């Protein structure tokens, strides 16, 4: 399955929050940090992330603090240290992180990081 924000390996899919059209994904804090480590190991370019409240029928994008631009290391530091309690207080859920991968999706597929779509 192809996602517009980047590849999502099978091991992360059970924890992923998907948009209603399944076009994008976001991960809870611990999985987002693990994903950033994985992306670094795979030498994927990370551009930043959006902060979402995983609501239905689609995400509530938390503007104000809603996004962060940076590489994998900077994103991990921001996710690890920032207090996102306001999302829990406002929406009653823990935030998820919609990570943006800058590498071309075709390039990712050619390198075998993501299975081709049917």
> pTM of the prediction?
0.84
> Over the stretch 65-85, which tens digit does the pLDDT of each residue have?
557 999 999 999 999 999 999
For residues 20-36, give the mean pLDDT.
96
61: tokens are 């994008």
**Domain residue spans of the chain:** 15-104
At CA 77, angle to CA 71 and CA 81, rounded to 5?
150
pLDDT at 43: 87
pLDDT at residue 117 tops 60: no
- Topology at the third CATH level for domain 15-104: Ribulose 1,5 Bisphosphate Carboxylase/Oxygenase (3.30.190)
């Amino acid at each position: 399955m192809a996602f517009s924000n980047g590849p999502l390996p099978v091991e992360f899919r059970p924890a992923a929050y998907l948009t209603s059209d399944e076009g994008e994904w976001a991960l809870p804090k611990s999985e987002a940090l693990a994903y950033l480590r994985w992306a670094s190991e795979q030498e994927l370019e990370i551009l930043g992330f959006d902060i979402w409240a995983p609501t239905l029928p689609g995400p509530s994008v938390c503007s104000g603090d809603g996004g962060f631009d940076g590489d994998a290391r900077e994103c991990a530091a921001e996710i690890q240290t920032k207090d996102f309690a306001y999302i829990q207080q406002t929406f009653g859920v823990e935030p998820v992180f919609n990570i943006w991968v800058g590498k071309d999706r075709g390039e990712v597929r050619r390198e075998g990081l993501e299975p081709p779509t049917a």
